[in-house]
A and B are shown apart, each in its own frame.
Chain A
Amino acid sequence: MGMQGDFFQLLKEQGYQFGNPVGGVAGIDVPNGTTILALKYRDGVLVAGDRRATAGNMVMYDRTDKVLEIDRHSVMAIAGVPATAYEMVRVLEHSFKYYRRTQLQELSFEGKLRAVSKLLKENVPAALAGTGAVVPVFAGYDHEQGAAKIYFYDILGAEFEAVEYAVSGSGSPTIRGILHYVNTWGPQPLATLPEEQATIQALRLLTSAAEFDSATGGVNRELNLYPVVKLITAAGVQTVAGDNLKRLYETEVVRGV
């Protein structure tokens, strides 16, 4: 019954299946290259992702949005098989809405985290079969504790809280090292950066990832394509406008020629 406000349970009762492994298709190239990152800055959490979708050495699409708003205070950045990841986001989005509307209160931040790991656990068979692995980063504002938080996961659904930053995707090894360096020996720790400085860091990091990882898309100025950057604060989720990214990229990322 829906009296507990569990939308996923309701879907399952109606015959919905999530995370079933698909047999006999070994060897196909599922798109999964990407770079996503989340870092804590002065006012909350910044979440950013490149926009390329690849399958093997093919570029499938250059306008993917991998940083998805689940509700007004939480965002999931996805790395892995897009079909599964988008479906997860859809389930989560409806689950949170359904809970709020039936129970007449917001689902707690912890409840939201549980929902994410529950879906990942359901997805284990598909992840192990190689056709549905998703490694998301979940970030949101916890109103009870008055703090923005970042969590990352492995493909089996284990949940880890990130103290300062989290990265995922094929380009992440490159920027993980940079993040560590900048955060430890840079002019100031990431957590004290104001909004604009944090955005500049995100643009630089994603540009570095694109430099070394063919599956991560960089900035394409001719097509006016910039990464997706979202900021989560107590006021909610806000997307950094393309014009702002363009200005910051041109003044703070590109070296004068």
Chain B
Amino acid sequence: MYEEPYRWVEAVGNRRQYLDEQFTKGAPVVALAYADGILMLTVSRGTPKLYEIYDRIALGGMGHPADLEKLRFSLLEMAHVEGFNRSPSDVTGARLMKYGLAPTIKQAFEEIYKAPFIVKILLAELGLKPERDMFLTINYDGTFEESRRWAALGATSAVQARMGRYLESQPGFSQAPLAQAVEIALCAWAVGSLAQISREASDGESSSMPASAEQPEGAGAVVPDKAVLLAHVRQIVTEKSLEGVLLERNGPGASKYRALRPDELDVLLPPAVNTPSPT
């Protein structure tokens, strides 16, 4: 019955609704440029969500672990074959996104007899100079965006936009030292996480609001202050663990990716999150 164009459109619409629901409980991902490179941060339970793709490229993901793993492998394969056959500097986030991820994800999304990828992916690429740092995000339907200085993944585009507004309101974060960048990233993460929670609650009352109804944001859109945000993080990390990775511009060797060890993160966390060590 999906052969009819109308049915097909309807099926794709259903798919969107189904997929949107899959992300409501996912943890947002924040990536931002700081003084010495790029920081990516999220909260995870069990399976990691941040990975190394190539010498200067890191990946952050939301969604189903098996789907994420499949796409991660295809990216790794593409990046390494390309880096070997051409040169490591020919492996760029933009090419991985445009020719690697986007067509695969879009095709899976539109083939309505098959399962779509339940993923949103963020690629962060460390440029040779800070002004060449690049962030790319892709949605479950294959649409992708490029940005400079920061990028975020959240359950909906409204959540992502809210996280972005928070980051933009923090002046000069791209010159911030690591500890300050961690605090800003944590706050942006909390903005996203809280937005997802409140949206979920309101969804319970007014069932299935169309996506366009997200735009008018009233008093609810006011960003909570830092203490509230950090308190939220503190509450979350009692049951889940923080995950942070860096692309360090001055790191040794060609591979600039480095995962922050738990003891390093403990030192970097703002006191409001860290004081009662969550064990």
**Chain A interface (Cβ within 8 Å of chain B)?**
2-3, 7, 10-11, 14, 69, 71-72, 90-91, 94, 97-98, 100-102, 104, 236
Contacts and interface: CB of A to CB of B under 8 A. Distances in A.
Contact of B84 (A11, A102, A104): A11
Contact of A97 (B48, B73, B80): B80
18 contacts: A7-B80, A10-B77, A10-B80, A69-B253, A71-B253, A90-B84, A97-B55, A97-B80, A98-B76, A98-B80, A101-B54, A101-B76, A101-B80, A102-B73, A102-B76, A104-B48, A104-B51, A236-B252
B52 A101 contact: yes
B252 A2 contact: no
Given A97-B255, A101-B51, A101-B53, A2 B77 contact: yes
Interface residues of B, number: 16
Contacts of B80: 7, 10, 94, 97-98, 101
Interface in B46-92: 48, 51-55, 73, 76-77, 80-81, 83-84
B77 A91 contact: no
In this complex, the member of A7, A97, A104 whose beta carbon has the largest number of chain B beta carbons within 10 angstroms is A97
B73 A10 contact: no
Given A71-B253, A94-B83, A102-B76, 5 more contacts: A2-B77, A90-B84, A97-B255, A102-B73, A236-B252
Contacts, number: 38
Contacts of A3: 73
Interface in B222-279: 252-253, 255
Contact of B253 (A14, A72, A90, A104): A72
Contacts of B77: 2, 10
Contacts of A10: 77, 80-81
A2 B73 CA distance: 7
Among B83, B84, B252, the one with the most A-chain Cβ atoms within 10 Å of its Cβ is B84
Looking at chain B's contact residues, the main secondary structure is: mixed
A91 B84 CA distance: 8
List the 7 closest A-B pairs by CB distance, nearest first. Answer: A94-B84, A98-B80, A2-B77, A101-B52, A102-B76, A72-B253, A94-B80
B76 A2 contact: yes
A29 to B, nearest CB: 29
Nearest to A90: B84
B147 to A, nearest CB: 24
Contacts of A14: 81
Contacts of B51: 101, 104
A10 B52 CA distance: 19
Contacts of B81: 10-11, 14
Nearest to A94: B84
B179 to A, nearest CB: 25
Contacts of B52: 100-101
A90 B253 CA distance: 15
Contacts of A11: 81, 84
Interface string B76-111: 110011011000000000000000000000000000
A94 B48 CA distance: 23
B261 to A, nearest CB: 15
A94 B85 CA distance: 10
A100 B255 CA distance: 11
A7 B252 CA distance: 23
Contacts of A90: 84
A2 B53 CA distance: 14
A69 B48 CA distance: 30
Nearest to B255: A97
B253 to A, nearest CB: 6
